[in-house]
Amino acid sequence: MHQNDGDANMVQLYNDAAAAHASVLRQMEEERRTAKPNRETVSDKQLAGQEGSGKGVQSKRNRRSIMSFNDIIIWGWKGVYHQCKEIERVLAPHYRVRLTLHDYMFPHTDPADDGALYILMTPHLCVELPPHYIIWQTEQWGHYMLQVGNRRWANQRNQTDLLDFVEVFEGAVEVWDYSLVHLKNFEPIFKGRDVKFRHVPFSWFPLDPPITEAEKDIDVLFYGWIVDGSRRNKMLDELRFERNVSIHVSNMDAYREDLTKLLRRAKVILNIHAYPAKVLEICRILEAISFGIVVITEPGAEAALDAQWKDKLVFVDGMDQIVQQIEVYRSNSTLRNQVLKAATAHAKAHYSLEAYLADFLQHQRM
């Protein structure tokens, strides 16, 4: 089987799973359209057509400078709870900030908030787009998925009003992405288009209260989205049921404070790539390090990034190495502490939102 065939099959699995979730969004969207006045009837003409109709109007609005806003609304899915809390902490001294965490479906925007700047975490879940927004891109984008599989990235709202991700990006005040691989892949697609990109990796964050060793009663944890028949699903089944490796698996079933409690208990996490792009899952990795967890991970697509994390993450290639390193690190607290100390120092030095958003944080409230 050709590589592209494998990529296509993997993309199809995840697209099918997303489509199942999206049916809820489509139903809710249709109910809103029939029960609620159009936004244009309650807003001024300048806002006409700006709620994401899929007809390309997003890119035609006059884009305001980041520094012209005083109010910021963070929209985040409950699965990125800690990242949302950290951006709230960083921005709060400089802006009036409101954080809203949602389940799978985001609520509709309120015209009363049209003067605010929204930061959209997991923006592909949005039912509608506010007039002014920053995309904080959290999804994996490989070359193949950009060209074929993920053109419908922002289209989960309904089946007929399709909104291409290019239009979503063009309508943004800025687009933030955690991966330099992604930014490189975006270059040919957005050449000549008016889109401002910013490299904003996720951040290490301090915990309060600090974690104690006595809390850590889970030797090995995997948490993330597991689709039936996917690579993750097959690898975890082999590890647990054929190789008898004890792994605590959380298939997107712990959120907000429940996720905090789960992560405080873990000694080691296993990071397995979900997509063919194999972009290093830096969001999950930094979250784990912040919780005092050693990360065992497959190598990523960016060799230079892997090199930066050498001796700070435990890189494994193949099932035999995964089994071997799990057994080593689950039982050796001295070795775990050694790796974690190096990982924490690296994360604190190189993954700070204050550094990546330095100009953004020069703002003084009016």
CATH number of the structural domain spanning residue 223: 3.40.50.2000
Q: Give residue 106's pLDDT.
A: 67
Q: Is the pLDDT of residue 112 over 50?
A: yes
Residues 231, 338 within the same domain: yes
**Cα–Cα dist 113/280, whole Å:** 35
Identity at 265, one-letter amino acid code: R
Give the tens place of pLDDT for each residue, 1-41.
454 555 555 445 445 544 444 444 445 445 544 544 444 32
**Residue 203 dihedral angles phi and psi, to the nearest 5°:** -125, 145
Q: Are residues 217 and 111 in the same domain?
A: no
- The continuous run of DSSP H or E covering 314 comes out as strand 314-315
Distance CA 300, CA 181 (A): 10
Q: Which helix (H) or strand (E) holds 15?
A: helix 3-35
Tokens of 209: 């209260």
Each residue's pLDDT tens digit, 98-107 = 999 887 666 6
**N-terminal to C-terminal alpha carbon distance within the chain:** 60
Q: Which of 118-127, 177-186, 262-271 has the highest mean pLDDT?
A: 262-271
Residue 108 has pLDDT above 50, yes or no: yes
**Average confidence (pLDDT) over 295-317:** 94
Q: Is a pLDDT exceeding 60 seen at residue 66?
A: yes
- Note the pLDDT of residue 71: 94
The two structure tokens encoding residue 96:
């009036």
Q: How many CA atoms lie within 13 A of 348 on its CB side?
A: 11
**What's the CA gap between 174 and 179, in Å, rounded?**
15
* C-alpha to C-alpha distance for 50 and 289, rounded to whole angstroms: 40
- 8 Å CB contact between 69 and 116: yes
CA gap 272, 74 in Å, rounded: 29
Q: Which stretch of 9-13, 339-343, 358-362 has the lowest confidence by average pLDDT?
A: 9-13
Closest CA to 169 of 142, 149, 146: 146
How does residue 365 score in pLDDT terms, banded at 50, 70 and 90?
low
Same-domain status, 96 and 127: yes
Burial 54-67 (b: 16+ CB within 10 A, else e): beeebbeeebeebe
**Which residues span the domain enclosing 265?**
213-350
pLDDT interval class at 220 (50, 70, 90): very high
Q: Tell me, yes or no, whether 151 and 38 share the same domain.
A: yes
State the pLDDT at residue 79.
83
Question: If you write DSSP's letter for every residue of 86-108 in order, what string do you get?
Answer: HHHHHHTTTSEEEEEEESSSPPP
The verdict on residue 139 lying in a domain is yes
Q: What is the pTM of this model?
A: 0.77
pLDDT of residue 227: 82
Instruction: Flag whether pLDDT at 315 surpasses 60.
Output: yes
Shared-domain flag, residues 122 and 195: yes
Report whether 278 contacts 301 (CB < 8 A).
Answer: yes
Can you tell me the mean pLDDT for 157-165? 52
Q: Is residue 265 part of a domain?
A: yes
pLDDT of residue 48: 31
Return the closest-CA partner of residue 156 out of 354, 23, 349: 23
Could you tell me which of 104, 105, 133, 148 has the C-alpha nearest to residue 10?
Answer: 148
- For all residues of the chain together, what is the average pLDDT? 79
If asked whether residues 79 and 197 sit together in one domain, one would say yes
- Cβ neighbours around 296 below 10 Å, total: 24
Res 167: pLDDT: 80
Q: Say how many domains are in the chain.
A: 2
Do 228 and 185 sit in the same domain of this protein? no
| Residue 134 included in any domain | yes
Residue 152 lies in a domain: yes
The predicted pLDDT at position 146 comes to: 46
Statement to judge: residues 58 and 194 lie in one domain:
yes
Section 239-245 average pLDDT? 95
CA diameter of the chain: 64
Domain assignment present for residue 67? The answer is: yes
For residues 28 and 120, membership in a common domain is answered with yes
pLDDT, residue 51, reads 35
Residue 63: partners with Cβ closer than 8 Å, 6 or more residues away: 173, 194
Collect all residues with Cβ–Cβ distance below 8 Å to 258 and sequence separation of at least 6. none
Q: Let me know if residue 83 belongs to a domain.
A: yes
CA–CA separation, 331 and 216 (whole Å): 12
> Do residues 97 and 188 share a domain?
yes
Is the pLDDT score of 46 beyond 70?
no
Q: Check: CB of residue 272 under 8 Å from CB of residue 235.
A: yes
Residue 53's pLDDT is: 35
Residue 38 maps to a domain: yes
pLDDT > 90? residue 138 = no
The pLDDT score that the predictor gives to residue 366 is 56
Local confidence band at 61 (pLDDT 50, 70, 90 cut-offs): low
Compute the distance between CA of residue 278 and CA of residue 280 in angstroms, rounded to an integer: 6
Name the token pair of 115: 């003067």
Dist CA 224 CA 48 (whole Å): 39
Tell me what the mean pLDDT of segment 179-189 comes to. 86
pLDDT at 306: 94
Q: Would residue 208 count as lying in a domain? A: no
- Residue 94 and residue 46 share a domain: yes
- The pLDDT-based confidence of 253 (bands split at 50, 70, 90) is confident
Residues 170 and 287 grouped into a single domain: no
